[in-house]
Structure 1
């Protein structure tokens, strides 16, 4: 009997020791928390979520600040946030699968697939634009999302469901930004055309393909298409875009976004937890979704996309950054009320994402420096540097 009691006591001590070691391993870094709080306080930002996925797949999630500042509702790691243009990577993944299966060619002219869609002829450069140019933002197409008339329409009809033509009509008969293939100009218009192409070639709805080929197989259970004003567990977003764009200071009220985000579609069109976003970066940039050859195309600066933004060149649907940890791949994202960035450091095999529930973070701080700093602190804490 005494022997049994001794063994039971020893076993319980062993469990306590294991629990202590596990808790120590997964404790939040005080330095990371301090760095996030400092950014929030100094820049007067509402809340920030940060996730990092290490080479071995271990993930750490941080959430600080408020979802709803007025109600003092804390932001949490379970909140979803719009990822903006980062969503272009889902469209690229689907499109490149079609390229690899020889259903389309990057050198094909876009209009080869739409010979009978007469209204497309109203787009500048359209007869000269290839699929590759759309991916690279070298088509010369203007940005439909910057047109004041579009924002006026959104204000008048926030529930509107947008068609291909509805979106693209805002740049009908506009002058091109440059000749097709002879310059670089970031434009969501390019990716609306790519979405049209994906649906044309597959005869399936874009979001159905995203769900069945990307989200479900990779267990991204907290990633959703932004198809309606009601989004699961959406954080409150804060904006300073102002009256010119008819955007309220608070873009989410009672769980409902101020407009139908379906407008964004293949130009972005996704919401997720920051954890899922970091997982997506690791899947995407480690070539789990397509071949190494395709990954090289995506992450190699195109000839017109070298040094096009601060610290970044452009490949196909991805920026190539010079970071504090060497070369990095990723994308930033904006939606009214939200700023995001996701990134992958190939030398370290580490992915990370930062999301804020405001759209003025990029004017208050450098998102690339912020995510680099947080990753460096995390690696130091994990003795992985």
Structure 2
């Protein structure tokens, strides 16, 4: 979930590319460097086999170098075959501190899966209906009488994405510590005409999820963070996932690097305030919680079968092999979501046909040849491990 199209400078490419290989050379001579410097401890007792593991190691190394990724963690679990958990590169480009598999990261747009789950629980309880117009809950939404909660969750509302407004971009980047309220964020988008009639096509817009977060608060009478904690995180047994109120960030966490700055130069975005993203992208999690959540959200463990069926009823996005449901992505068999916020990117998906789970976490959102680094890495990993089901998250990368 990038607030605007980033500009990758030459110095950013040179800096990041120089960090990947040295970071994995702590325990061996340069000509014998292991690709995976820090295998996860205790969570992956059965490897996928030497040959496949070696190919995955090489894949991580190749993508990391080419895309200029400072540090990354990949977890792949394939029941009956084994698992693969690796951390590579550095968590801090200044100190050379290695990336660790037990790190917390900002998960960006993966927050959408939590917000929509909270909404769908209210659907199960009969407190809201997916075909209710947003105007029943939030006043002042352009064409709000015709835009339903379903259209918002499907990314088919036609509302202008507030993150694409030049004024928003200026205000965020001129003061990354600024606190935005949901109404303040939406106001940047509401200045623009709607981009199409509700339901006509797919357009990824964070405005949609901020509105759904407001619906959850309106109906429950509680803060969205509290609703998600009590109604989603606790029942799903996610102990290391949180909805921050400001820029708080549990340790350990890597430094996050972005080129979404006024000059386009690389900056440390670790402590930027994610309030602007709120229900669309403010949350924090870690590898093991995301592993648990991948299966939970894809199989509907917190929802009734009927509501989960509606969630997974996906529509075309315009990207071959990729469709979008109610706050959830389907891409070549994989179900879940990706996330991007200045400094960090993630992918959390589940493959029902093999009961496989993939989690990717990294400490940069700097694009490589116009593509998000998390998509590049997840695509490459799945091309090796599940060649008949290759991940592609391009549809959710505006």
Per-residue deviation, 1:62: 1.7
Q: Contact 1:353 / 1:371 at 8 angstroms: preserved in 2?
A: no
Instruction: Give distance in 2, aligned partners of 1:103 and 1:23.
Output: 42
TM-score, normalised relative to structure 1: 0.80
Equivalence map 1:147-162=2 (5 Å): 147-162=165-180
Tell me: CA distance 1:367–1:297, structure 2 relative to 1, closer, same or farther (3 Å).
Answer: farther
Q: Contact 2:235 / 2:302 at 8 angstroms: preserved in 1?
A: no
* 2:211 paired residue number: 193
| Structure 2, unaligned runs of 5 or more | 1-42, 388-398
Residue 261 in 1 paired to residue 282 in 2?
no
Equivalence map 1:304-383=2 (5 Å): 306-322=316-332, 327-361=333-367, 362-363=371-372, 366-373=376-383, 375-376=385-386
Q: Contact 1:138 / 1:181 at 8 angstroms: preserved in 2?
A: yes
* 1:80 paired residue number: 104
Per-residue deviation, 1:148: 2.2
Instruction: Give distance in 2, aligned partners of 1:168 and 1:350.
Output: 37
* 1:43 paired residue number: 67
Per-residue deviation, 1:59: 6.3
Equivalence map 1:101-180=2 (5 Å): 101-114=125-138, 120-121=139-140, 123-180=141-198
Instruction: Give distance in 2, aligned partners of 1:33 and 1:232.
Output: 28
Tell me: CA distance 1:314–1:367, structure 2 relative to 1, closer, same or farther (3 Å).
Answer: farther
Instruction: Give distance in 2, aligned partners of 1:320 and 1:282.
Output: 13
Q: Cα deviations across residues 205-249 of structure 1 (Å, max 9, x unaligned)?
A: 11111111222233322212132223012311111234267x752
Instruction: Give distance in 2, aligned partners of 1:217 and 1:23.
Output: 25
* 1:382 paired residue number: none
Instruction: Give distance in 2, aligned partners of 1:68 and 1:96.
Output: 39
Q: Contact 1:91 / 1:266 at 8 angstroms: preserved in 2?
A: yes
* 1:10 paired residue number: none
Match of residue 286, structure 1, among 269, 276, 299: 299
Q: Secondary structure at the match of 2:159?
A: coil
Q: Secondary structure at the match of 2:145?
A: helix
* 2:91 paired residue number: 67
Q: Contact 1:53 / 1:279 at 8 angstroms: preserved in 2?
A: no
Q: Contact 1:136 / 1:317 at 8 angstroms: preserved in 2?
A: yes
Whichever structure has more helix as a proportion of its residues is 1
RMSD of aligned Cα (Å): 2.6
Tell me: CA distance 1:284–1:58, structure 2 relative to 1, closer, same or farther (3 Å).
Answer: farther
Q: Contact 1:278 / 1:342 at 8 angstroms: preserved in 2?
A: yes
Q: Contact 2:60 / 2:377 at 8 angstroms: preserved in 1?
A: no
Instruction: Give distance in 2, aligned partners of 1:91 and 1:175.
Output: 26
Instruction: Give distance in 1, aligned partners of 2:68 and 2:383.
Output: 19
Instruction: Give distance in 2, aligned partners of 1:204 and 1:152.
Output: 31
Instruction: Give distance in 2, aligned partners of 1:223 and 1:111.
Output: 31
* 2:287 paired residue number: 274
**Number of residue-to-residue matches in the alignment:** 338
TM-score, normalised relative to structure 2: 0.78
Q: Cα deviations across residues 149-202 of structure 1 (Å, max 9, x unaligned)?
A: 113222444333322221111022411110122222111001111000000101
Instruction: Give distance in 1, aligned partners of 2:61 and 2:244.
Output: 29
* 1:13 paired residue number: none
Q: Contact 1:278 / 1:351 at 8 angstroms: preserved in 2?
A: yes
Larger Rg: 1
Q: Secondary structure at the match of 2:150?
A: helix
Q: Cα deviations across residues 90-112 of structure 1 (Å, max 9, x unaligned)?
A: 01111111011110111111112
